[in-house]
Structure 1
Amino acid sequence: MSALSLTLFTPSGVLLQVGPLKLAARRLKALGFDVNIDEAALAKHQRFGGDDDTRLAAIHRVAKQAPDVALASRGGYGLTRLLDRIDWKLLARSVEQGTRWVGYSDLTALQMGLLAHTGAQSWCGPLAADDFGRETLDEVTPDCFAEAMTGELEAVGFRTAEGHDGLQAKGVLWGGNLTVLTSLLGTPHWPKVKGGLLFVEDVNEHPYRVERMLLQLHQAGVLDQQKAVLLGGITDWKKSLLDRGYDLKGMLAHLRTVTKTPILTGLPFGHVDTKVTMPFGMKVQLVVEGRDVLIGWH
């Protein structure tokens, strides 16, 4: 079997240094991928990986090339600027040809738009520079990514808090970065998923802001339409003197009083060192036994 072709591209924030991208390319080659770095991957314009036209052209160029894997170099911000101009049918054709678009964080905008406009699936997983380009890389993240890209991976598992034993559900797995997700609500780029499994993660967002965004989704009718909500990493937020005991647990306790949808914690995904790779927009099955959660697909 020939090596899977993998293209690194920069659709969002600027890459300040070339080192992490080169390290990522070496590690990905060591995993057996035939790695290509897009010609505009190191472009710079203000805080972006090139101006809007440059980044849009890169996305369309990768879609036309249709590699086996299209892996974003990093997140940040920038894709929201491009959503109204992306040729979604072109991206969907690349998916039909076998391309797996992979990333998280700001790439949530592209994944949501792709599902909303075409129903095409993508993959939530690591970023090139932010994960494969780190000084130290765990074993789970690259192994899970490689198995997902070759089609060997059919399930991911994790431990959650007590209280969900026996829960079983089937539905479309979707979601991503909560801030990006919420910003798309009410736009044409929001996929209307009912009976799905919604997963969310975020970074540098205090629990009260996470609560406010989740309440917005609830008040818009989104949470009650899902079979489960899976909470990934809510990381790097700072406590405030005003909290007076309010924290993530308090936030979750309140949310569970307003929505009937089960909220499971512990999903190893988001701005965390160890993350799984999962399908986005694919129908999956969720099974909980005790505190063990399994998400499977075919």
Structure 2
Amino acid sequence: MPKRLDIRLIAPSGYAADRAACHRGIERLQAAGHRVQGEAVVERTFLRFAGSDAERAADINQLADATAPLPDMVMATCGGYGAIALLDLLDYGGLATRFRDQACVFVGHGDFTAIQCALYARSGIGSLHGPMLLQDFGATYLRESTWRHFWQTATSPRTEVSWLCAEDQPDLRVEGTIWGGNLSTVCSLIGTPYLPEFDGGILYVEETGEQAWRVERMLYELKLAGVLDRQRAILIGGLSGQRVSEYDNGYDTEHALQRFGDACGLPILRGLAFGHGPDKWTLPFGAQATVDVLDGTAHLTASGYRHAGDASSVN
């Protein structure tokens, strides 16, 4: 049984198209003994967003209010699009001060990657790249492995995961700061003050609904912008939703990654499940990590990151 936590919901991106799923997720969290706050964001709709820019930014900025207690966890309801419009509206100084000595962890994925990058770049606040309310905890079938690994990671200072990568993957060992998220969202922050600069980083990226050539182009964006010059390895998650057209002549995601791998000069590891997709591991953003590959099996360990309910975990 995970620790009983105060969980506050925020909706920085799209609105909840399936509100029944959100309420199912809230009920699951409550049934596990957690206290859920901020349910009203599930009901908000403005155009394609979960409220106006000001409303969605206020959900986050209220965490800087020293007169109100912080929750143990801040969980995004869902992704979509819209978080990037909030980045100039957030109180980074206030959030940095508030989070300096109090245990509270942000969690989300997809479009929420923009918030995670900005919080680290401007406030030094680490987070968790993991499941969200609608797609994951509110799913008709709750993935036990996703649930179990999330709580293990979210409430302890160390996490680990193993997975099978390509049989011809050379053995290796890399250490560095682990970070990343949705590929297109990370690329949207290039050239802005909201993309963290990690020297000796281990970058994880995933994507959904983008064609193979677009994935390759975004990876080249990171390379040409110098982001990859500071990384020691790239971990590739799911790249679902690609379609191969007649014009592609067989060119697909495998070709895209092979071509880019030959050009970038970094170890590229496939097969790590995170982000979009029904089964996912929870990955720290901004933690120290080690990746070992031996005989086609990769093992990731990360430690010393901010986790819920423990003041000793703050950055």
Common fold by TM > 0.5 = yes
Cα separation, 2, equivalents of 1:125 and 1:245: 33
Unaligned runs of 5+ in 2: 304-315
Q: Is the 8 A contact 1:31 1:146 kept in 2?
A: no
State the TM-score, normalizing by the size of structure 1.
0.95
Written as runs of structure 1 = structure 2, the 5 A alignment for 1:209-220 is: 209-220=214-225
Q: In structure 2, what is the equivalent of residue 294 of structure 1? A: 299
Choose from 158, 163, 169 the match for 2:163: 158
Cα separation, 2, equivalents of 1:216 and 1:53: 31
Choose from 89, 92, 107 the match for 2:93: 89
Q: In structure 1, what is the equivalent of residue 140 of structure 2? A: 135
- 1:152, CA displacement in angstroms? 6.6
Structure 1 counterpart of 2:78, one-letter code = R
Structure 1 counterpart of 2:85, one-letter code = R
Cα separation, 2, equivalents of 1:20 and 1:243: 38
1:205-226 superposed Cα distances (whole Å, 9 cap, x missing partner): 0110000000111111222321
Greater CA drift, 67-76 or 132-141: 132-141
Q: Is the 8 A contact 2:201 2:233 kept in 1?
A: yes
- 1:285, CA displacement in angstroms? 1.1
Q: 1:224 to 1:189 in 2, by over 3 A?
A: same
Cα root mean square deviation, aligned: 1.7
Q: In structure 1, what is the equivalent of residue 279 of structure 2? A: 274
Q: In structure 2, what is the equivalent of residue 221 of structure 1? A: 226
Written as runs of structure 1 = structure 2, the 5 A alignment for 1:232-251 is: 232-251=237-256
Q: In structure 2, what is the equivalent of residue 207 of structure 1? A: 212
Cα separation, 2, equivalents of 1:291 and 1:33: 39
Does 2:39 match 1:32? no
Structure 2 counterpart of 1:60, one-letter code = N
Greater CA drift, 140-149 or 100-109: 140-149
Q: In structure 1, what is the equivalent of residue 313 of structure 2? A: none
Q: Is the 8 A contact 1:144 1:153 kept in 2?
A: no
Q: 1:253 to 1:17 in 2, by over 3 A?
A: closer
Cα separation, 1, equivalents of 2:148 and 2:6: 17
Unaligned runs of 5+ in 1: none
Secondary structure (helix, strand or coil) at the match of 1:169 reads strand
Q: Is the 8 A contact 2:244 2:251 kept in 1?
A: no
Q: In structure 1, what is the equivalent of residue 312 of structure 2? A: none
Structure 1 counterpart of 2:48, one-letter code = R
Secondary structure (helix, strand or coil) at the match of 1:130 reads helix
1:164-221 superposed Cα distances (whole Å, 9 cap, x missing partner): 3431111111110011100100001011112100010111101100000001111112
- 1:148, CA displacement in angstroms? 1.4
Cα separation, 2, equivalents of 1:121 and 1:2: 20
Cα separation, 2, equivalents of 1:73 and 1:159: 30
Secondary structure (helix, strand or coil) at the match of 2:60 reads helix
Choose from 75, 87, 97 the match for 2:79: 75
Q: 1:90 to 1:156 in 2, by over 3 A?
A: farther
Q: In structure 2, what is the equivalent of residue 124 of structure 1? A: 129
Secondary structure (helix, strand or coil) at the match of 1:39 reads helix
Q: 1:251 to 1:196 in 2, by over 3 A?
A: same
1:95-133 superposed Cα distances (whole Å, 9 cap, x missing partner): 641111000001000000011112221100001111111
Cα separation, 2, equivalents of 1:180 and 1:97: 28
Structure 2 counterpart of 1:5, one-letter code = D
Cα separation, 2, equivalents of 1:38 and 1:243: 46
Q: Is the 8 A contact 2:176 2:290 kept in 1?
A: yes
Secondary structure (helix, strand or coil) at the match of 1:297 reads strand
Q: 1:26 to 1:153 in 2, by over 3 A?
A: farther
Report sequence identity in percent.
Answer: 38
- 1:159, CA displacement in angstroms? 1.3
Alignment: residue pair count: 298
Cα separation, 2, equivalents of 1:286 and 1:243: 34
Secondary structure (helix, strand or coil) at the match of 2:94 reads helix
Q: Is the 8 A contact 1:40 1:54 kept in 2?
A: no
Q: In structure 1, what is the equivalent of residue 51 of structure 2? A: 50
